[in-house]
């Protein structure tokens, strides 16, 4: 999946995608093509500059490291269509992080959070068989 081509995104978000390490999920169907790991899908708030998006872009790689590293957890960025579909399906405020398992949302965390809150909520979501949490 190519990087997210979105000039409206903050440079820190674009950098994550352009570095090649973060695949783009342009539609929910694309999520089914991610590898077998659980994934943290970043919904950066396309089309609306949001002050929290660059903060989450900086923190997210560190969260992945704290939760077992990229060997255990995949990371991706939602394109506008996938972001809209997930925002509507999960009733999310943006920006958000959605936990995907086998391409399906397990739950989500909306907006910027404190480090410990992120870790606690993400650990619960990653351990859960399935549950939508915001």
User: How much is the pLDDT for 23?
Assistant: 85
Per-residue pLDDT, averaged over 18-25, amounts to 75
Cα–Cα distance measured from residue 66 to residue 26, given in angstroms and rounded to the nearest whole number = 27
pLDDT tens, 74-116?
889 999 999 999 999 999 999 999 999 999 999 999 999 999 9
Nearest to 16 by CA among 105, 101, 97: 97
Q: Are 127 and 68 in contact (CB under 8 A)?
A: no
Kind plus residue range of the DSSP H or E element containing 31: helix 28-31
Q: Are 99 and 42 in contact (CB under 8 A)?
A: no
The pTM of this model reads 0.86
What Å distances lie between residue 42 and 48, 53, 55, 96, CA to CA?
15, 9, 12, 6
* DSSP string computed for 45-102: -TTS--THHHHHHHHHHHHHHHTT-TTTEEEEEE-HHHHHHHHHHHT--SSEEEEEET
């Amino acid at each position: 999946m190519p990087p997210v081509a979105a000039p409206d995104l903050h440079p820190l978000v674009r950098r994550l995608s352009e570095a090649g390490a973060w695949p783009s999920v342009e539609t929910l169907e694309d999520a089914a093509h991610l590898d077998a790991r659980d994934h943290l899908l970043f919904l950066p708030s396309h089309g609306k500059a949001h002050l929290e998006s660059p903060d989450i872009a900086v923190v997210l790689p560190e969260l992945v490291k704290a939760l077992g590293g990229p060997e255990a957890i995949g990371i991706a960025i939602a394109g506008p269509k996938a972001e809209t579909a997930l925002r509507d399906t999960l009733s999310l405020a943006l920006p958000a992080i959605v936990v995907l398992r086998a391409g399906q949302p397990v739950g989500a965390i909306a907006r910027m959070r404190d480090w410990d809150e992120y870790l606690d909520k993400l650990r619960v979501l990653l351990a859960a068989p399935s549950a939508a949490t915001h």
